[in-house]
Structure 1
């Protein structure tokens, strides 16, 4: 695991909920081909930091899960929400910003059409307080 120095962009973006917390998912391009090689995922619910995302990934994985396994779980959840349409919002192009200090996972090859996952404090243009407020959930995630 490496740390993210921060990033921003204007790309395909969505907002989804998982276990009562609202997250954002965007793609980041590494060059002018605009392939979206990097998945960007972070909590949007006020007061929730990226630690909650990684706690969920640990709780929902096998006990021996590596950081890469947990990163793949996070990427899969964002990809599932985007593809299946289980979304609170979706934009073909929206501005987003990922603050420095997040986590970076290199998958070592393509996974859900992404080569890396960057997580951290994320903001997405167009979100509203009602959209990012905590949501009711049937399922809880135990602390790890």
Structure 2
């Protein structure tokens, strides 16, 4: 006796659920990778802006006028906050105790206005020769 089975059409419920589970895991991993790339791009943008503005800020210290020691803070035009700490360094003196140069140490911390404590710190040590007056 030969029994013919109907030809199966479509997928069973178990097969469909397994396919959807595999698809969901694949899409989850793909979205995780894309979001990680977006976070890395935002961090790189912050570091680039902070490095450019911070280097320009530290380069200008002591050029336009005398350096004021202590702590100051402010905000750049693009919204990044900065905190500057300037402390005096050792003074170089020549023969007879005559001062030759003054120095200072500056530390600049740049923070994002929003974010999770992302900061960028730059530090420099500058020495400036003392201008001698004639007859000294």
**TM-score, normalised via structure 2 length:** 0.24
Larger radius of gyration: 2
Higher relative contact order (CA 8 A, sep 6+): 1
Of Structure 1 and Structure 2, the greater helix share is in 2
